[in-house]
Amino acid sequence: MRGKFKYISPFLATLALILLSVSGCTVPESFTPPPPSNATETIEPNWTFPTTDNQSSTLLPNFAAVVTKVKPAVVSVTTEVAKGSGFVIDGEQGYIATNEHVVANAQNIEVTMDNGETFSANVVGEDALTDLAVIKVDASDLPYTHLGNSSSLAIGEWVLAIGNAFGMGLRVTEGIVSGSNVTITLLSGEKLYALIETTAAINPGNSGGPLVNMKGEVVGITSAKILGAENMGYAISSSSAKPIIEDLIRQGYIIRPWLGVHIQTLDWLTAWLNNLSVSEGVLIAEVVPGSPAEAAGLKKGDVITKFQDKEIDTAQALQEAILDCYIGEKVEITFVRGRVTKTTHAVLKQSPSPWS
**Burial code of 20-30, b = ≥16 C-beta within 10 A, e = fewer?**
eeeeeeeeeee
Q: Are 83 and 76 in contact (CB under 8 A)?
A: yes
Question: Rounded to 5 degrees, what angle do the CA atoms 25, 28, 33 make?
Answer: 115
Strands 83-90 and 95-98: antiparallel
Q: How far apart are CA 318 and CA 336, in angstroms?
A: 15
Inter-residue contact 132 to 235 (CB < 8 Å): no
Query: CA 191, CA 97: separation in Å to the nearest integer?
Result: 20
> What gap in Å lies between CA 203 and CA 183, rounded to an integer?
19
Give every CB contact of residue 168 below 8 A, 6+ residues apart in sequence. 205
- Under a CB-based contact definition with an 8 Å cutoff, are residues 351 and 255 in contact? yes
Sign of CA pseudo-dihedral 72, 74, 80, 83: negative
Among 314, 317, 310, smallest CA distance to 332 is for 310
**Collapsed DSSP state (helix, strand, coil) of residue 245:** helix
- Nearest-5° angle of CA 102, CA 108, CA 110? 70
DSSP for 71-82, written as a single string: GGGEEEEE-SS-
Name the residues annotated as catalytic: 101, 131, 207
Contacts for 119 with CB less than 8 Å, ≥ 6 apart: 94, 110, 111, 113, 137, 138, 139
